Amino acid sequence: MVPLRRSKLVKKKKKSQKLQVHQAPPLKAIVTRQIQRFLRFKNLIIFMSEHVLVKPLTVTA
C-alpha cells in the first residue's frame, strides 16, 4: 500500500506542476495587457489634454 500511495503523490505533484506551467503565461499576459491598456489610456488622456490646452491658446493668440 505504501508504494502505491507514494506514486499517487508523485502524480499529484506532476499534475500541479503542469497546471502551474499552464497557468503562469496567461497571468503574465493579462498583467502586461493591463499595463499596455493603462499606458494607452494615459497617452490618450495626455494627448486629449494637450489638444484641449493647445487649441484655445492658438485661437486666442
Reply yes or no on whether the pLDDT at 16 is more than 80: no
Q: Which three cell numbers stand for residue 36?
A: 499596455
- pLDDT tens digits for range 28-61: 888 888 899 999 999 888 888 776 766 666 666 5
Q: Which three cell numbers stand for residue 21?
A: 506551467
Q: What pTM does this model have?
A: 0.38
Q: Give the chain as a DSSP string.
A: -HHHHHHHHHHHHHHHHHHHHHHHHHHHHHHHHHHHHHHHHHHHHHHHHHHHHHHHHHHH-
